[in-house]
Structure 1
Amino acid sequence: MLNGYSFTNPSPMTGGERWYCSGRLRWNCNVCLHVNDDYELVCIANEHGHSPPIYEKTDDGLYVEIME
């Protein structure tokens, strides 16, 4: 999670991983971020064209998106 947006589908790249906005398919969002091997943010590309989803934390610590 970053600024209320969730990211998924990490793909390895030199020096870390690239993560994609979880709204990539639903909202055609092309935001991706790059983290280094220590999971520190290196850069973020593009801007979200949608509001951040609303999540609820379950009793076992997982986050579930609330569908409107």
Structure 2
Amino acid sequence: MLQYRGYPFTGAVLRPDGLVRWRCTRRGSYGCNVWIEVNDQLQVLSHHNHHTHAPQRYVMIENGLYIRM
């Protein structure tokens, strides 16, 4: 999972040009078609950023994992 601007993304797909495209985790339940593309250094190079929902809130727990609030 990748988090960007308060929104979680999943389903990374490697493109032929070497970029990785991530989709919003609320794609199915909210019909949110937002995606971002990152390079191998996790720099966001391209995005479609009009979410159909509010950002989700996550908190890091002791072992470094994140849980959704």
Smaller-chain TM-score bracket: 0.7 to 0.9
Aligned-partner Cα distance in 2 for 1:57–1:36: 25
- The answer for the alignment partner of 1:6 in structure 2 is 8
Alignment of 1:57 onto 2:60: yes
Query: Which structure: greater helix fraction?
Result: 2
Q: Tell me, which stretches of 5 or more residues in structure 1 are unaligned? A: none
Aligned-partner Cα distance in 2 for 1:45–1:21: 10
Aligned-partner Cα distance in 1 for 2:7–2:45: 17
Q: CA deviation at 1:38?
A: 2.0
Name the TM-score, length of structure 1 as normaliser: 0.86
Runs of 4+ in 1 over 6 A off after TM superposition: none
Q: CA RMSD in A?
A: 1.1
- The answer for the alignment partner of 1:16 in structure 2 is 19
Q: Which digits, 9 at most, give the CA deviation of each residue in 1:22-44, with x for residues without a partner?
A: 11112111000011122211111
Secondary structure of 2:29's aligned partner: coil
